[in-house]
């Protein structure tokens, strides 16, 4: 026995004391991290309000909560929807899985009321954004186009073909082209009327006119609604929509003249089989043109509708639901980060003591709690937006298109909904992207693990900022609406409620906080209205000045684009603040205090972010801006106390949260370790050990060629 | 022949005229998008400066450009580094590919000068961030620790074992634990000295002390440098480092007591085999403790170094290179987005005309050109930071540790480098993340395609914001340094050059732009110095006030954390602006104008972003802030003219850009379509057609159970 081995043997005898020494160390160190589950329990015990009340308030009543919970249970228990391995799926697996889920969802979609289906789909969107979109491609885009643009007879025909049930046919939506996205009017695919055969010839004239990003096209769609330029007798009537069969629904063989390929890997949403589509002189019956609005008869006579704007009303639906999704998704991620912050401890001022919860650090509160408050603001504005949209839809349906006066009012309201939804869609989808990113960073290194849920969600989410109206383009369009509204007000027309502040320009111009208490609904509302009024006025006045200089309206709009963008941003911010305050007034007394704190935090934090504008508008003094920074800290501390109970009120189960570090019980280290081990079972060696690692690590010394040996002998 | 068929036959006869009609449409529509390659050529023809001169200036001279180009050629031609399929690789494929590349790189790393290797690795980082990290795990972390913390004899020993060449051994770095990241001093793994056997016992006391995120651990490492609490005779001496063998280098079997698992999927950098490691009473010879600084002798006597700060000097290296990476990576993405913006056209004011380049829209210029200017700012600050760091390293190496006065000066400089590098690392890695995100959005929908390069890069990049010092923690630490510097200045000590503005507090407090021209180095520099002075003073004064109230220093720092954060942000911003101006003075006359425009744009844009602070400091009036917004538009228009030539000066070939929409030739639609087709060859049906799609689409009508049929006959 060598000396070391014998010493070791002796050490075995002393093993018990060794273990004791080690477990002593263990106890001291465990103390540092505290007990995460106990830490979480402490947070819950602080609740100053009935959590269930807040849930009902957010859901829109006890009954709605019950419906939501039923749907959540159905999804959670369904084996097809199990998502424990979600973050490890490849693109191919995601696509197959998504389709299996659609096949499962169809039972509910075809058998329940539309509002319930919407609720179900919005919950589905929380756990799988690709699934929501891929279902939406058929129902919202394809079927929605039929409903909005087909004549009644055409609509019945497509229903009879299975369009309502995805039976015998699956639809997609060929709008975007490689070369044209935002500029829909510039699309280049052609639909040329051939009077001899009573057909349209659908054709892709060149590569950049290839239909692109078409969800469902690569694998699943049998039919599409295709946007193409209507050409009759050599005349271009602009872009209309046509149903084009793509594949034989039995064999899935491509129809003659149709070329389809896979768009391949994307930043996210890999569960959607986006494809590209080219048409080479594809013939469809004339009757496949959707003719609710524009019509072409047997002899090539074209009739165009007087109010084509109504055809675009359908675009608003997508925006409205993206605002709702922004609130919904934010709930999920602020919940994860706040739960983690409530149990994660790091650093202590006194050695040997339990370390401090990261939620107790002032900066950490600053990073997360305004995002929590923003989540409420987004939900309440979304509720308001949905109500506006429902009211408008009812009005459109009940107004006689022949009644010009009534229709003018409807069109005016449609414009307002367009502007408001454009701004809200842009700034809430951005806010949600920022929320996912910031909450991830607030979870430090562990936020980077796929199993915490942030990475996948961020990648899946951010397409919301560029699709269905790129956010910048939408913001500019909202800004254009605001400038136009300003001009109308200057001409004496009263502004509608959404821009009420434009009716009070004179008062707001000289408004100041003065000696009033800043954290009050009166001052905070007026502050936002004053700044919105100032920014919109400035854009409007610049526009007027440029027009006077001789610029065309288009030129003047372009020249003021930065100001329009700012106007849209501040207007939307103002809308979010005001709707938050409005909504609180209808809350019960038990939850009103916590909602009030959240609303003040939101309004104050937003002022701080745009301090320059409030100083320029002279609503606050420089000293008051300092005070606002302090108030922001103060309301962070207040909200911090209720942070976990508030997120509990969002009522999202672990299945919907789907994060190893954001589970309800707070047992973060064990949950996370378990998840990592389950998804990555130990293997003795890497799959490429024999091929790559071994030859590399065991490589022999490189033979150094000694050039001198090869030298010719010199004399 | 049915009537339709005969009409079709007739149509064939008229096919030629049909084609003509169609190609007429084609020509009109193609006109809309213009010719992308010609559009790009027009941009290049506008160059107002010699592009090559700017390249030399950025690279640090003609010779450096030559070296870079040699390395780029070597990488680009090497089949192991081909990256056309990079965006389609799975986690498993990425890991294998990364290891193959390391096996290839080793030839260069072991045979060329260290500076050349650094340059090579920084270029490698542009095309594959995982590869850079995985190489860095061995060289910067494992080998770097040996170099920095091993005694000379120990260092020689590990060299003899193959540490310098990754031959027979591959190292990793066990610092972070599941429960402790930022708080390194709180790590819980123990290294208990067993005097009887002259060994340390390395042990993981509980789950949260599991080593976590350990790059290289899952598949490749044979050894690790492990951070553990040194326990001798029951006393805890804090965290020290130890070499621990993990696997048998021949068989890769795990050593007894070592458990290793795979961390699995991450948001990005899947080419790195991160693992978790648990030690169960693992014994290592006493001599495996790295004893350059702290020592334990045969009898358990512990000696600790007088200046342990120096041991942490190594942490600065990572920060310095992340600042450089931020500039480097930004170059890649502003190039992509600006090239795309120079050829992408959308919307036209006059029907039938070529549409407008998106780069010609004012808002698009606003979105991209400040990011281009920021890229230069980051590079110049990075160059300055690297120079500071090199000078410090030389000084540390040449100073006699016994010379207390000389050492005090070195420690003082080290502190300054710590503060500056902390702020720069935090704010440049954030700025780069924002650049990748904003440039992606500026490419609209196509930015979301994996083949445009943004998604992968964003996911790979953002870990820079939370690792090696979480950005928020680093910013707070930089803020703490600034407050301390402020206190010293109050006590009469002169501030070093990095915080020169603290020596001019009185003057800066009353400084104003006044009637001077805003777009001048004098005014813009003074503006930033005045605001930095104001913000740092405010944080310092708050700290002093809190201390007077009786708070401990720790409490007062915590209480001012928001102000410290702001101080660090503004100080860093000021540094970036001043170093930009400094550097221009050394540029040649031909490139000075374009650099000057970029520097003004950067300084002005940053002022606009923090307008509130400039108003509060009363450096600018409200009217001047409006003027600044106009100046920002103006400099965007100026820089726009040179945008493509400027990005050409970054001198990154298509191989390094690796983006289907950002290639040099501007032939965006064809390049992109080709890439999508090559990576996604057409298949007749989806892989899950038979299993999922077919049964779903062809499902029979659900048999509706008519409950009434089952009713018992009623009487």
Map A635-683 to HEC letters: HHHHHHHHHHHHHHCCCCCHHHHCCCCCCCCCCHHHHHHHHHHHHCCCC
C-beta atoms of A355 and B206 within 8 A: no
- The Cα–Cα gap between A112 and B279 comes to 56
Query: Quick check: A362 contacting B, CB < 8 Å?
Result: yes
Give the closest residue to B478 by CA, choosing from B547, B565, B387. B565
For chain A, positions 297-326, list CB contacts with chain B under 8 A.
none
Query: Quick check: A672 contacting B, CB < 8 Å?
Result: yes
Question: Of A181, A471, A673, which is closest to B178 when you measure between CB atoms?
Answer: A673
Tokens of A195: 């009077």
What H or E segment, with its residue span, contains residue B457?
Answer: helix B454-461
Query: Quick check: B619 contacting A, CB < 8 Å?
Result: no
Give the residue from chain B lying closest to A623, CA to CA: B616
CB-count burial class (<10 Å; 0-12, 13-18, 19+) for A331? buried
For chain A, positions 412-441, list CB contacts with chain B under 8 A.
437, 440-441
E-state strands within A216-331:
223-232, 235-245, 258-262, 275-279, 282-285, 295-296, 302-303
Minimum distance, in Å, between the CA of residue B715 and any CA atom of chain A: 33
Query: Quick check: A464 contacting B, CB < 8 Å?
Result: no
C-beta atoms of A262 and B680 within 8 A: yes
Report phi then psi at B172, rounded to 5: -135, -175
Set A416, A468, A526, A529: catalytic member: A468
How confident is the model at residue A14, as a pLDDT? Answer: 42
Contacts with B22 from chain A: Cβ below 8 Å = 190, 192, 201, 203, 205, 281
DSSP state letter for B446:
G
Query: Quick check: B246 contacting A, CB < 8 Å?
Result: no
Longest distance between any two alpha carbons in chain A, whole Å:
113
Contacts with B207 from chain A: Cβ below 8 Å = 669-670, 673
How confident is the model at residue B25, as a pLDDT? Answer: 38
- The Cα–Cα gap between A221 and A141 comes to 12
Listed as ranges, residues in chain B with pLDDT below 70 are 1-31, 307-314, 701-706, 713-715
Give the residue from chain A lying closest to B98, CA to CA: A692
How confident is the model at residue A349, as a pLDDT? Answer: 73
pLDDT in tens, B374-429: 999 999 999 999 999 999 989 988 888 788 888 888 888 888 899 999 999 999 99
C-beta atoms of B686 and A463 within 8 A: no
Query: Quick check: A382 contacting B, CB < 8 Å?
Result: no
Strand order in the sheet with B258-262: B211-214, B275-279, B258-262
C-beta atoms of B25 and A179 within 8 A: no
Quickly list DSSP for A480-544. Answer: HHHHHHHHHHHTTPPPPGGGGGGGGHHHHHT---TTS-SSSHHHHHHHHHHHHHHHHHHHHHHHH
Neighbouring residues of B501: CB distance < 8 A, sequence distance ≥ 6: B495, B508, B529, B530, B532, B533, B536, B574
Question: Of A205, A465, A625, which is closest to B25 when you measure between CB atoms?
Answer: A205
Minimum distance, in Å, between the CA of residue B400 and any CA atom of chain A: 34
Minimum distance, in Å, between the CA of residue A363 and any CA atom of chain B: 6
- The Cα–Cα gap between B699 and B682 comes to 27
Contact A175, B706 (CB under 8 A): no
Angle, helices A62-77/A114-127, rounded to nearest 10 degrees: 60
C-beta atoms of A367 and B472 within 8 A: yes
Give the residue from chain A lying closest to B24, CA to CA: A234
Give the residue from chain A lying closest to B196, CA to CA: A7
For chain A, positions 693-712, list CB contacts with chain B under 8 A.
693-699, 701-702
C-beta atoms of A697 and B170 within 8 A: yes
Minimum distance, in Å, between the CA of residue A42 and any CA atom of chain B: 20
Contacts with A222 from chain B: Cβ below 8 Å = 697
Tokens of B61: 């001279």
Minimum distance, in Å, between the CA of residue A105 and any CA atom of chain B: 11
Angle, helices B561-584/B521-548, rounded to nearest 10 degrees: 160
Minimum distance, in Å, between the CA of residue A397 and any CA atom of chain B: 32
pLDDT in tens, A398-425: 888 788 888 888 888 888 899 999 999 9
The Cβ of residue A507 has, within 10 Å, a number of other Cβ atoms equal to: 13
- The Cα–Cα gap between A291 and A241 comes to 9
Minimum distance, in Å, between the CA of residue B653 and any CA atom of chain A: 23
- The Cα–Cα gap between A281 and A302 comes to 21
pLDDT in tens, B228-273: 999 999 999 999 999 999 999 999 999 999 999 999 999 999 999 9
- ipTM of the shown complex: 0.94
Indicate which of B692, B703, B704 best probes the interface with A, i.e. most A CBs within 10 Å of its own CB. B692
Query: Quick check: B189 contacting A, CB < 8 Å?
Result: no
Angle (CA) A532-A371-A533 rounded to 5° is 0
Q: How many CB pairs under 8 A join A and B?
A: 442
Q: Which residue's structure tokens are 């310095």?
A: B320
Contacts with A472 from chain B: Cβ below 8 Å = 363-364, 367, 441
Quickly list DSSP for B208-254. Answer: GGSEEEETTTTTT-SEEEEEEEEEETTEEEEEEEEEEE-B-TTT-PB
Question: Of B30, B208, B691, which is closest to A33 when you measure between CB atoms?
Answer: B208
Please list the alpha-helical segments (H only) found in B512-667.
Answer: 521-548, 553-559, 561-584, 592-609, 611-616, 622-648, 654-657
How confident is the model at residue A1, as a pLDDT? Answer: 45
For residue A402, the number of C-alpha atoms closer than 13 Å in the C-beta half-sphere is 0
pTM beyond 0.90: yes
- The Cα–Cα gap between B291 and A298 comes to 93
C-beta atoms of B363 and A561 within 8 A: yes
C-beta atoms of A696 and B444 within 8 A: no
Tokens of A62: 């006890």
How confident is the model at residue B15, as a pLDDT? Answer: 41
Contacts of B521-526 with CB under 8 Å at 24 or more apart are: B521/B581, B521/B599, B524/B577, B524/B581, B524/B600, B524/B603, B524/B604, B524/B607, B525/B577, B525/B578, B525/B581, B526/B619
C-beta atoms of B201 and A18 within 8 A: yes
Contact A395, A412 (CB under 8 A): no
C-beta atoms of A467 and B455 within 8 A: no
What H or E segment, with its residue span, contains residue A213?
Answer: strand A211-214
C-beta atoms of A106 and B249 within 8 A: no
Angle (CA) A548-A553-A557 rounded to 5° is 105
Residues of B annotated as catalytic are: 468
- The Cα–Cα gap between B143 and B150 comes to 10
How confident is the model at residue A479, as a pLDDT? Answer: 98
DSSP state letter for B619:
S
Contacts with B701 from chain A: Cβ below 8 Å = 167
- The Cα–Cα gap between A69 and A123 comes to 10
Listed as ranges, residues in chain A with pLDDT below 50 are 1, 12-30
């Amino acid at each position: 026995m060598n000396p070391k081995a014998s010493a070791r043997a002796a050490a075995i005898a002393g093993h018990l004391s060794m273990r004791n020494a080690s477990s002593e160390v263990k106890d001291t160190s465990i103390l540092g991290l505290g007990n995460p589950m106990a830490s979480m329990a402490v947070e819950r015990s602080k609740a100053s309000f009935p959590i269930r009340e807040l849930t009902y308030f957010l859901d829109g009543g006890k009954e709605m909560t019950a419906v939501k919970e039923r749907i959540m249970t159905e999804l959670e228990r369904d084996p097809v929807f199990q998502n424990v391995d979600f973050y490890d799926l490849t693109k191919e697996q995601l696509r197959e899985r998504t389709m299996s889920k659609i096949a499962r969802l169809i039972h509910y979609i075809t058998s329940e009321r539309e509002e319930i289906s919407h609720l179900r789909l919005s919950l589905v969107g929380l756990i799988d954004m690709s699934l929501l979109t891929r279902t939406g491609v058929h129902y919202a885009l394809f079927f929605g186009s039929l409903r909005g643009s087909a004549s009644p007879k055409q609509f019945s025909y497509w229903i009879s073909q299975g369009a309502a049930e995805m039976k015998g046919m699956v639809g997609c939506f060929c709008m975007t082209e490689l070369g044209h996205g935002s500029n829909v009017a510039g699309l280049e695919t052609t639909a040329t009327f051939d009077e001899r055969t009573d057909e349209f010839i659908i054709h892709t004239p060149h590569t950049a006119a290839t239909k692109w990003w078409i969800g469902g096209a690569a694998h699943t769609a049998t039919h599409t609604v295709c946007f193409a330029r209507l050409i009759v007798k050599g005349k271009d009537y602009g872009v209309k929509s046509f149903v084009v069969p793509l594949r034989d629904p039995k064999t899935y063989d491509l129809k003659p003249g149709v070329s389809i390929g896979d768009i391949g890997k994307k930043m996210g949403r890999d569960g959607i089989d986006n494809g590209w589509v080219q048409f080479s002189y594809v013939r469809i019956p004339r009757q496949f043109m959707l003719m609710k609005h524009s019509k072409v008869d047997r002899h090539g006579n074209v009739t165009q509708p007087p109010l084509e704007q109504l055809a675009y009303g359908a675009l608003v639906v997508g925006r409205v639901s993206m605002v709702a999704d922004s609130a919904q998704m934010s709930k999920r991620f602020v919940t994860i980060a706040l739960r983690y912050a409530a149990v994660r401890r790091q650093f202590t001022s006194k050695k040997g003591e339990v370390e401090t919860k990261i939620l107790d650090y002032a900066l950490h509160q600053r990073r997360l709690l305004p995002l929590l408050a923003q989540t409420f603001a987004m939900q309440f504005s979304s509720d308001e937006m949905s109500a506006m949209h429902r009211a408008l839809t009812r009005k459109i349906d009940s107004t006689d298109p022949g009644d010009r006066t009534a229709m003018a009012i409807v069109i005016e309201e449609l414009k307002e909904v367009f502007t408001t939804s454009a701004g809200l869609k842009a700034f809430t989808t951005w806010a949600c992207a920022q929320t996912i990113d910031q909450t991830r960073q607030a979870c430090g290194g562990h936020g980077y693990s796929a199993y915490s849920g942030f990475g996948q969600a961020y990648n899946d989410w951010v397409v919301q900022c560029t699709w269905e109206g790129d956010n910048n383009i939408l913001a500019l369009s909202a800004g254009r609406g605001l400038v136009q509204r300003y001009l109308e007000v200057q001409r004496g027309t009263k502004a509608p409620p959404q821009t009420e502040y434009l009716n009070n320009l004179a008062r707001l111009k000289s408004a100041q906080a003065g000696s009033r208490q800043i954290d009050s609904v009166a001052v905070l509302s007026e502050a936002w209205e004053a700044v919105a009024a100032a920014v919109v006025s400035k854009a409007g006045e610049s526009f007027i000045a440029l027009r006077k200089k001789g610029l065309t309206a288009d030129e003047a709009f372009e020249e003021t684009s930065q100001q329009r963008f700012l106007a849209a941003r501040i207007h939307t911010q103002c809308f979010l603040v005001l709707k938050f305050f409005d909504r609180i007034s209808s809350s019960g007394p038990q939850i009103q205090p916590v909602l009030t704190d959240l609303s003040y935090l939101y309004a104050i934090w937003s002022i701080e972010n745009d301090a320059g504008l409030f100083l320029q508008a002279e609503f606050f003094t420089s000293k008051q801006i300092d005070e606002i920074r302090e108030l922001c800290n103060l309301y962070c501390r207040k909200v911090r106390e209720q942070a976990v109970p508030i997120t509990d009120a969002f009522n999202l189960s672990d299945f919907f949260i789907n994060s190893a570090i954001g589970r309800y019980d707070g047992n973060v280290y064990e949950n996370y370790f378990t998840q990592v081990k389950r998804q990555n079972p130990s293997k003795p060696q890497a799959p490429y050990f024999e091929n790559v690692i071994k030859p590399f690590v065991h490589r022999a010394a490189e033979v150094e060629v000694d050039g001198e040996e090869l030298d010719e002998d010199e004399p």
